[in-house]
Amino acid sequence: MRLTTKGRFAVTAMLDLALRQENGPVTLSGVAERQRISLSYLEQLFGKLRRHELVASVRGPGGGYCLARDARSISVAQIISAVDEPLDATQCGGKENCHDEHRCMTHDLWSSLSQRMYEYLDSVNLHDLMVQQRERAGHRVVMHEHGARVAASDIVRVQI
């Protein structure tokens, strides 16, 4: 079982959005540039995220996207599921027909793994990821405008 680019990009883009939305709607072109993700691919992902009511779009000048609800109520599993990414480690997609149209001997193992992966990803919310990212940014060393090295934690506001 592997998580494809679709799921990874969706989570990354949602985290980028969540970290920046306090300044107003976030443009997909900005997310695309910062995260090096194709704008057309992001548009497809955000269409699905909008249909699942994880993001809301704001039209017009200054428009873009914002979270449709609080980051604490959006789990990583919800994001991945919204973009049609399966969280299934079984070879048969849970249909129990992978071994000559019968259930294979290890089906329960892979099915259990799938369940645990879902439970873990459902236990991690977007807010948790935001906190981790901000903490990580707080420990980075940045260059002050005069060339002096300053710990980011010494700076009142760090742009992420």
- What CATH class is the domain 1-85? mainly alpha
Residue 133: pLDDT above 90? yes
Window from 10-24, 88-102, 121-135, 140-154 with minimum mean pLDDT: 140-154
Residue 79: pLDDT above 50? yes
Alpha-carbon gap, residue 133 to 26, rounded angstroms: 18
Residue with structure tokens 């935001």?
A: 130
pTM above 0.85, yes or no: no
pLDDT, tens only, 30-63: 999 999 999 999 999 999 999 999 999 999 888 9
Give the model's pLDDT for residue 55.
Answer: 98
Alpha-carbon gap, residue 91 to 99, rounded angstroms: 9
